[in-house]
Every structure is written in C-alpha cells, then in structure tokens.
Amino acid sequence: MHQTFDAAIGINLLHANQAGADHNRDHFDTWGITCLNLMSSPGAGKTVLLERTLAALSPELKLAVIEGDMTTELDAERLRQYGVPVIAINTGRSCHLDSKMVAGGIHSLERDYTPSTFDLVFVENVGNLVCPAEFEVGEHAKVALLSVTEGEDKPLKYPLMFREADCLLVTKLDLAPYLDIDLHRIERNIRQMNPHATIILLSAKTGEGLDDWLNWVRSAVASQVKRAPCQPAPQG
Amino acid sequence: MHQTFDAAIGINLLHANQAGADHNRDHFDTWGITCLNLMSSPGAGKTVLLERTLAALSPELKLAVIEGDMTTELDAERLRQYGVPVIAINTGRSCHLDSKMVAGGIHSLERDYTPSTFDLVFVENVGNLVCPAEFEVGEHAKVALLSVTEGEDKPLKYPLMFREADCLLVTKLDLAPYLDIDLHRIERNIRQMNPHATIILLSAKTGEGLDDWLNWVRSAVASQVKRAPCQPAPQG
C-alpha cells in the first residue's frame, strides 16, 4: 500500500524512516556488523547470488540474512540450506522493506543469537526497482542488481535506484549472447546516473565476475563502510 | 513516493482512486474505446510487445497509447514511430500510474484528437510487479506480463498482480532453452493464483504466440469487456 504524496507529508515520512535506519545502523555498528542492502527488479537474481555468496563466504565470515518478501518464505527456505540464520519478513501489501520492518529482523537476531558474533548481514529487499531505493533500512552500503535481460535503458528510466547504489551488479551475463544488447551501453547508462559506484558484470550460473563481487563484499566488511546519515532528496 | 499505510487511510485512498477510475471508464465507454492496462516488472517486454501489436493492428483498428514512465520519453518515442498517438506521462517519484494521471492522458486525447474515432487505448504502466496492481486506471481489462527469465516462483511471490490480471502473458519464450526453467510450473503457479485468466506464452522476437495475443486483443475490442466497478480488497 502506498500513494503519491504531497511533498510535506512525503518528507516527514522519509525523515521518520531515516531516524529508524540510523537507529538500526547504530545497532549494527555496536555489534561490529556490516549490513548490505540488496535491491533489484523481481527475478534479477538476488537470491541465487546470495546462494553463491553464502556458499563462498560462510567458511570465512559469520553471516546472516534478513529476507524481505511480500508473501511466502520460498527465498528464505532456499537460503537456510546454507546453514546461516535467515530471518524472513513478509511485507504483506508493502512494496519495500522500511527501517521499522528491518528493526523487527534485528530484534529477532538479538533474541535468538549473539549479534556481536556476526560479521555481515545481508538484507534482501522486495523485488522492485522503484520503491526500495527511497527507504534506507540501516545498511552500510546499497547493492543494486540489473539483469542483462531487462534492457540497456533501465538506468535512465529508474534513476533513483542507480544513483543510490554503492555497488551495481549487471547479472545473468551468460544470457548476453542470446540478446540484442550492448553491454558497454549498459555501463555507460549506469555511469551517466552514478559516476563513482563500483560496477561488476557477473553470472551466478557460470561464476564469471563472482570473485570480483566476493572481493567487493570482503572489502566492505574490512573497511566497515559507513554511510553518512543523509537527508531525503527534494521533491520535484 | 509511497508508504505503508494504516488500513483506514489506505481504503480511503483506494476508494478515491477507484472513483477516478470509474470516471475514466465512463469516458472510454461513451467514446466506444476499449482500454487495456499493461503491467509487469521492468524489462519484461511491455514496450516491444506494444511495438509488435501496433504494427499488426494499426491497419484494422484506430489505436492510441498512454505511456507511463517515471522519467524520460524513451518508450513513448519508440512507439510514436508506429504512427499512433502516444501520450507520455512522467510519474516522477511515483511507482505506478493512478486514475488521476490517466485522466490527464484522457484529457490530452480529448484536446488533440476526436476520441470517438479510436477503438483501443493501451495504457503502459510503470515497470513494477507490485504497486500498479492496486490502482485501477479505468481499464476494461488488465494484462500482466511475466518474462521467463524472472523465474517460476514469481506468481506465488507477487500474488496480487497475478490475481488481478485478465490476461497473463509469459514473454521471452525464445530464451527458455537457455534457462533452467519449467514452463509447465510457471503455468501451474499462475493457475494457483488465477484459475480463469487467459494465459498466452509468446516471444515478441520470434513471433511465437503473437497471433494468440492479437486475437485476444481483437476479441477484447469486439466484446468491449466491461469490468464491474469493484471495491478495494480488505487490508490484512
């Protein structure tokens, strides 16, 4: 449930969400946890990427996942097979995770585990290239996925997601040979929206680019990337 | 801009949108226009399907498009090459078209053309598998697209879109041989959400299934499918 807001109400809403996100981040910082927020369209490959990532990193890092889905625990069940705690949040009719929902996930982590033993928490957001980009949840960095099957123009058409991301993953690279697509144009369009983010082209199926992603995650954990609390963007 | 609402405000909001949608539909009915609302994730193939559809049907039907995008007129420009009026609506930060925005498109149609000469207006919604499903815009039928690259589980994970649709198109069929995907399972999952909708598997690239889609559109125009004004679904 959501609506088109007038600017004043919208800004109040984002301020309230931001305060909750800052509070969540304080928890993560206190426990020495890095939190990464994964966002994309439905079916861009967030869950399969997490499967590969949990398999590769769980021997060296203590991991957990906060898994957002409107309904079902299908993704949470897939990820639990990797032996890491997965806290499922059903958002119901909501099209994104907000900081209050993620706070609920953090409280579950606190109740059932010893949070300070964790190194890294992945938040897998609801599949939606629009709404999750507006709602910080307490992450230290945002990761956006765009599959090659979605087309070259998406960074221009959904600018906020591509501006907000710290790391942009172009996924399903194995399908590129079967598409009329120019990978350089995708990169140029991403760069037009976001000159500084890390861009990694990868295929979870063939493993191409996966090491670059895993190294980016390792360095995010090592440097405990801190995002400065930010103001909601002006309306208009 | 959008938020998680309490039930009372949410229902008021949907009532207001529904009243606007009924008003838009009255306009379409007066003019003898059939209106179809196309919805899907970003990159599922709405625009390329419209390109094929305009090319095939413009010799026999008088067509127009109301094109919703957050920013840019990229899709509108693609569709204008087919010689039909395309009214572009930039939704800004809004993640869906609502009935008020589409009313603006209808007024443009009224100002610049003779609406009663049109047979069919396509509304191409913002790429989003969640939010557009909640907001009627005055359409006579809803068409939802799911590309085979998005995965078999999406009808279960995004139930409202699949419940609401009158016609469900499984797109990019040409890519199925390169994916670990069971087309029968996609159909079963759609049927679980929606036992009665028309399901068509197609590829805009190879043309497979396209005739079935065009015939469905022709019969929608011929029968002037009327959707009964409906109440917003209960919150919960």
> In this predicted model, what pLDDT tens digit does every residue of A29-68 receive, in sequence order?
999 999 999 999 999 999 999 999 999 999 999 999 999 9
Distance from C-alpha of B168 to C-alpha of B200, rounded to nearest angstrom: 6
Give the containing element (helix H, strand E) for A28. Answer: helix A7-31
Phi-psi category of residue A39: left, alpha or beta, with phi > 0 → left and psi -120 to 50 → alpha: beta
Q: What is the pLDDT of residue A93?
A: 86
Q: Among A49-53, A217-221, A227-231, B161-165, name the one with the lowest average pLDDT.
A: A227-231
Q: How does A194-222 read in b/e, with b if 16+ C-beta sit within 10 Å?
A: beebbbbbbbbbeeebbeebbebbeebbe
Measured between CB atoms, does B159 come within 8 Å of chain A? Answer: yes
> Nearest CA to CA, how far is A25 from chain B (Å)?
21
pLDDT in tens, B60-89: 999 999 999 999 999 999 999 999 999 999
Of B2, B71, B74, the CB nearest to A95: B2
> Nearest CA to CA, how far is B211 from chain A (Å)?
23
Distance from C-alpha of A209 to C-alpha of B114, rounded to nearest angstrom: 54
Average pLDDT, chain A: 92
User: A119 near A62, Cβ under 8 Å?
Assistant: yes
B9 contacts: CB under 8 Å, gap ≥ 6: none
Q: What is the pLDDT of residue B12?
A: 78
Could you report how far apart the first and last alpha carbons of chain B are, in Å?
A: 22
Mean pLDDT of B193-217: 98
Distance from C-alpha of B64 to C-alpha of B146, rounded to nearest angstrom: 23
Mean pLDDT of A171-180: 97
Q: Residue A131: its chain B contacts at CB < 8 A? A: 2, 95, 128, 130-131
Which band of pLDDT confidence, cut at 50, 70 and 90, is reported for residue B7?
low
Which band of pLDDT confidence, cut at 50, 70 and 90, is reported for residue B175?
very high
pLDDT at A185 over 80: yes
Distance from C-alpha of A66 to C-alpha of B209, rounded to nearest angstrom: 40
Task: Please compute, for residue A158, the number of CA atoms within 13 A of its CA located in the half-sphere on the CB side.
Answer: 31
Distance from C-alpha of B141 to C-alpha of B147, rounded to nearest angstrom: 20
Q: What is the pLDDT of residue B8?
A: 60
Measured between CB atoms, does B130 come within 8 Å of chain A? Answer: yes
Measured between CB atoms, does A15 come within 8 Å of chain B? Answer: no
pLDDT at A3 over 80: no
Size of chain A, expressed as the number of residues it contains: 236
pLDDT at A144 over 90: yes
User: A124 near A67, Cβ under 8 Å?
Assistant: yes
Q: What is the pLDDT of residue A14?
A: 87
Question: Which residues 48-107 of A are in CB contact (within 8 Å) with B?
Answer: 69-72, 74-75, 91-95, 98
Measured between CB atoms, does A235 come within 8 Å of chain B? Answer: yes
Q: What is the pLDDT of residue B230?
A: 42
Distance from C-alpha of A147 to C-alpha of A172, rounded to nearest angstrom: 6
pLDDT in tens, A189-217: 999 999 999 999 999 999 999 999 999 99
pTM of this structure: 0.91
Q: Residue A178: its chain B contacts at CB < 8 A? A: 174-175, 178
Residue A57: strand, helix, or coil: helix
Of A70, A94, A149, the CB nearest to B147: A149
Calculate the CA dihedral of residues B135, B138, B141, B143 and round it to 10 degrees.
Answer: -50
Distance from C-alpha of A74 to C-alpha of B153, rounded to nearest angstrom: 8
pLDDT in tens, B14-58: 899 999 999 999 999 999 999 999 999 999 999 999 999 999 999
Residue A144 burial (C-beta neighbours within 10 Å; 0-12, 13-18, 19+): buried
Distance from C-alpha of B62 to C-alpha of B59, rounded to nearest angstrom: 8
Q: What is the pLDDT of residue B10?
A: 66
Q: Considering just the CA atoms, what is the radius of gyration of chain A in Å?
A: 17
User: B121 near B160, Cβ under 8 Å?
Assistant: no
Measured between CB atoms, does B174 come within 8 Å of chain A? Answer: yes
pLDDT at A233 over 70: no
User: B136 near A134, Cβ under 8 Å?
Assistant: no
Contact B70 A159 (CB under 8 A): yes
Measured between CB atoms, does A234 come within 8 Å of chain B? Answer: no
Q: What is the pLDDT of residue A116?
A: 95
> Nearest CA to CA, how far is B48 from chain A (Å)?
11
Question: Which residues 191-230 of B are in CB contact (within 8 Å) with A?
Answer: none
Q: What is the pLDDT of residue B44?
A: 98
Of A3, A91, A98, the CB nearest to B13: A3
Assembly ipTM: 0.89
CB pairs < 8 Å spanning A and B: 156
Contact A71 B157 (CB under 8 A): yes
